[in-house]
Amino acid sequence: MSKSLVFLSNNQEYSIDISYVKEIRNWIKSTIIPNSPEFVEGIINIRGSVIPLINFGKKINSCNENILKKAIIILEGDNKIISFSVDDVLEILSYHKEDLRRINFNENCSILEGIISFDERTIFKINESFFIKECIND
C-alpha cells in the first residue's frame, strides 16, 4: 500500500507521496523576492529556516487568483526543502500501486506522474523528485 497526501488546487485533486511531506501549515504571508519567477510567492521563515514558497497552481499553469490559499505543504527530498501553497489539504489516502495509472504526459507535464482512480475520483499524482527539482532550478 502507498500513502499520499491529497490536496486541492483550482478545484482539482492532487496527491504527493507522504514520505516527502515534512510539515503541513496554515497559510502564512511570505516575504516577496524581487524579480523572482511568477510562481514563486516568496520565502517563509519556519523555525529559523528560510524556505521558498511556491504557488502550486501557478507552477503547473492551473491557477485561479480568486481562490484563497488555506495551507502550505513543506516538502523535503534530495536534500532540498521547498514549500508550496494550495487551496486546501484534504486527506491522507492509502491506495494500491495498481490504482496508479501512469500516463505519458507531454514534456511540460513531467511534474505529473499519473492518475489515481479512487472512489470515482480522479487524483493527479505528482512526481515529487521532479517537482522539487523544477522548483529549485527555475
pLDDT along the chain (138 residues), means of 10: 95 96 94 93 94 92 69 93 95 92 70 88 92 80
pLDDT of res. 118: 80
User: DSSP class of residue 43?
Assistant: E
Any residues with CB less than 8 A from the CB of 96 and at least 6 apart, and which?
1, 2
Name the pTM for this structure: 0.88
pLDDT of res. 108: 56
pLDDT of res. 135: 83
Q: Match 534530495 to its residue by C-alpha cell.
A: 78
pLDDT of res. 138: 58
